[in-house]
């Protein structure tokens, strides 16, 4: 099972901070995962559509749509950062 | 190197003293501290809520610090970033860089702040009398970080 995390405004929009998800064989990279999550509802679709500024990390390293993923990974989605 | 993500406040002079203790080769100490600023139109900020990604945030700060140690001839540094609910005028972040000479310490300190603002997973939400609002990412912050490339 992959661990999915959502932070900040995305966490509030989705009303979810984390979940465990069994990735099907058809989901091998971040882009495919975003496609799968987009199919959940209109809110998820709007959050994961390709024109948002959403960032992604895999195992706590910044990643992108092409990054490969599997069921052992921690995958986090979040908006651009605003610390400091 | 001292890196900490914490709820508690910090004491800039105490951290600086700790960094410099038992050293006689330090000629320059540069510190930056960031505070909670009320930028709402009617000055009605109640608090700033700082969220982070436990684990990844600390790793990102370590990576940024290692980059600075490699790039400049500096001797040590500290980054402390607070999280949770912070009131106006409270401390948010501090960076201290110590070195033999000031130029290296100034540059490294500015680099650390510019990179921290664009690379480390922290998010700020304003809590005002009217409600809550996430602070938007600023393009000017990204440009400041890009200038170090």
And the tokens for B14?
Answer: 């105490």
Between A and B, how many CB-CB pairs are < 8 A? 69
Residue of B nearest to A9 (CA): B134
- Per-residue pLDDT of B14-62, as tens digits, reads 999 999 999 999 999 999 999 999 987 788 999 999 999 999 999 999 9
Interacting residues of B85 by C-beta distance below 8 A, sequence separation 6+: B47, B48, B49, B50, B127
Q: Which of A56, A59, A81 to mutate to test the interface with B (most CBs of B within 10 A)?
A: A81
- Per-residue pLDDT of B93-128, as tens digits, reads 999 999 999 999 999 999 999 999 999 999 999 999
Residue of A nearest to B55 (CA): A60
Is the confidence metric ipTM above 0.90 for this complex? yes
- Per-residue burial over B65-77, b if 16 or more Cβ lie within 10 Å, else e, is bebbbeebebbbb
Q: What 8-state DSSP symbol labels residue A66?
A: T
Nearest-by-Cβ selection for A8 from B55, B93, B123: B123
Interacting residues of A75 by C-beta distance below 8 A, sequence separation 6+: A2, A3, A4, A5, A30, A33, A56, A57, A58, A63, A69
What are the phi and psi torsion angles at A21 (to 5°)?
-135, 130
| The pLDDT of residue A50 | 76
- Per-residue pLDDT of A4-39, as tens digits, reads 999 999 999 999 999 999 999 999 999 999 999 999
On chain B, the residues whose CB falls within 8 A of the CB of A9 are 123, 134
Reply yes or no on whether the pLDDT at A65 is more than 90: yes
Which residue has 């790039």 as its token pair?
B71
Q: Which domains does chain B have, with CATH numbers?
A: 2-135 (3.90.1170.40)
Taking residues A40-45, report their average pLDDT: 96
On chain B, the residues whose CB falls within 8 A of the CB of A84 are 34, 81, 92-93, 113, 116-117, 120, 122, 141
Nearest-by-Cβ selection for A78 from B121, B125, B141: B121
Reply yes or no on whether the pLDDT at A51 is more than 80: no
Query: Average pLDDT, whole number, for chain A?
Result: 96
Are A55 and A79 in contact, with CB atoms under 8 Å apart? yes
CATH topology of domain A2-78: Ubiquitin-like (UB roll) (3.10.20)
Above pLDDT 90, what percent of chain B?
Answer: 95
And the tokens for A78?
Answer: 């979040």
Q: Where are the domains of chain A?
A: 2-78
Reply yes or no on whether the pLDDT at A52 is more than 90: no
């Amino acid at each position: 099972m992959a661990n999915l995390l959502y932070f900040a405004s995305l966490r509030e929009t989705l009303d979810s901070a984390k979940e465990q998800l069994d990735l099907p064989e058809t989901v091998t990279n971040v882009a495919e995962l975003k496609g799968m999550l987009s199919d959940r509802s209109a809110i998820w679709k709007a959050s994961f559509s390709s024109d948002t500024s959403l960032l992604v990390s895999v195992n706590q390293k910044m990643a992108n749509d092409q990054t490969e993923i599997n069921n052992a990974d921690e995958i986090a989605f979040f908006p651009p950062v605003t610390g400091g | 190197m001292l890196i900490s993500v914490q709820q508690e406040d910090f004491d800039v002079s105490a951290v600086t003293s700790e960094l410099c203790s038992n050293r006689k080769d330090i000629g320059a100490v540069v510190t930056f501290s960031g505070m909670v600023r009320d930028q709402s139109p009617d000055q009605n900020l109640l608090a700033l809520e700082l969220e982070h990604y436990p684990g990844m945030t600390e790793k990102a700060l370590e990576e940024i610090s290692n980059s600075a140690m490699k790039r400049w001839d500096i001797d040590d540094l500290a980054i402390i970033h607070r999280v949770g609910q912070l009131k106006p005028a409270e401390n948010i972040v501090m960076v201290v860089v110590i070195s033999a000479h000031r130029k290296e310490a100034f540059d490294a300190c500015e680099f650390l702040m510019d990179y921290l603002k664009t690379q480390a997973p922290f998010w700020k939400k304003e809590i005002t009398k009217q409600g809550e609002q996430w602070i938007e990412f600023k393009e000017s912050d990204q440009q400041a970080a890009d200038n170090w490339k």
